[in-house]
C-alpha cells in the first residue's frame, strides 16, 4: 500500500500525517513526535554533576555529611530520576473509518500503550482550552457516549493547535459530524 506523508515541525513537536492510498477504508495516521533538546539534556547532566561533586568530595575528605549536603544529594537523586524517567517519544492517532480510533503512546524505552475506541462510542471530537493554575493550552478530546469525563486524544503531549486542527478535522470526517467540518476560526 503506497503512502503519502505530510510533516510539520514547530518548536518541540513534529506533526506527521500518513495517508494510506487506495480505498476510503484506508488507515489515516496522525503522529506527534517529540524533538528532544540536546541542550536541555546536557545542561541537566552538568547541573547534576556539579551538585553531586561537592558532597562526594566532602564525604571522601571528612568521612561525614551534614544536613545541607544530604539535601543536595536528595535533589540530585530527584533530578536523575527526572532525567531517567521514560520520556514520551511519540503519540499517534490511527483513524480506522467505520471501525474506530486507536490512540497510541510510544515511550523512549520502546514501550507502547494502545487504546482502541469504537466509532459507535464517540459522540464528538472537541478542541478545548485547558486552564491549569500556571498555564493554558489546547487539547483535543473525545466526548464518549455514556461517560462524564472527556477522553484526551494526546494524553502526554501538548502540541500546538495548528497540529491539533487537522487531527480534529479528520476525526470529525470519520465520525461524520456535520457541524464539525467547518473550518476552525
Q: Measured from the CB atom, is 49 or 184 closer to another protein?
A: 184
Provide, rounded to whole angstroms, the least separation between the CB of residue 52 and another protein. Answer: 23
Residue 131 as a binder of another protein (CB under 8 A): the answer is yes
Residue 128 as a binder of another protein (CB under 8 A): the answer is yes
Residue 138 as a binder of another protein (CB under 8 A): the answer is yes
Distance of alpha carbon 70 from its chain centroid, rounded?
Answer: 35
Residue 135 as a binder of another protein (CB under 8 A): the answer is yes
Encode burial over 90-104: b for 16+ CB neighbours within 10 A, e otherwise.
bbbbbbbbeebbbbb
Q: Give the largest Cα separation in the chain, rounded.
A: 74
Q: Measured from the CB atom, is 21 or 129 closer to another protein?
A: 129
Binding to another protein (CB under 8 A) within 1-20 occurs at 11
Residue 109 as a binder of another protein (CB under 8 A): the answer is no
Contact indicator for 44, 36 with CB cutoff of 8 Å = no
Which among 127, 182, 115, 131 has a CA at the least distance from the CA of 160?
Answer: 127
Q: Residue numbers of the site for another protein (CB under 8 A)?
A: 11, 128-138, 160-161, 184-185
Amino acid at each position: 500500500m503506497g503512502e503519502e506523508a505530510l510533516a510539520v515541525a514547530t518548536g518541540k513537536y513534529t506533526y506527521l500525517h500518513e495517508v494510506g492510498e487506495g480505498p476510503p477504508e484506508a488507515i489515516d495516521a496522525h503522529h506527534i513526535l517529540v524533538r528532544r533538546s540536546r541542550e536541555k539534556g546536557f545542561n541537566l547532566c552538568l547541573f547534576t554533576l556539579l551538585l553531586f561533586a561537592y558532597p562526594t568530595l566532602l564525604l571522601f575528605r571528612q568521612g561525614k555529611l551534614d544536613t545541607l549536603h544530604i539535601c543536595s544529594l536528595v535533589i540530585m537523586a530527584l533530578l536523575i530520576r527526572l532525567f531517567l524517567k521514560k520520556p514520551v517519544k511519540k503519540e499517534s492517532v490511527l483513524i480506522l473509518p467505520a471501525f474506530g480510533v486507536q490512540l497510541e503512546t510510544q515511550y523512549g524505552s520502546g514501550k507502547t500503550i494502545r487504546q482502541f475506541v469504537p466509532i459507535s462510542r464517540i459522540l464528538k471530537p472537541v478542541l478545548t482550552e485547558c486552564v491549569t493554575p500556571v498555564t493554558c493550552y489546547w487539547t483535543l478530546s473525545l466526548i464518549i457516549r455514556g461517560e462524564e469525563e472527556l477522553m484526551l486524544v494526546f494524553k502526554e503531549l501538548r502540541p500546538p493547535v495548528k497540529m491539533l486542527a487537522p487531527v480534529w478535522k479528520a476525526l470529525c470526517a470519520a465520525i461524520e459530524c456535520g457541524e464539525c467540518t467547518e473550518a476552525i476560526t
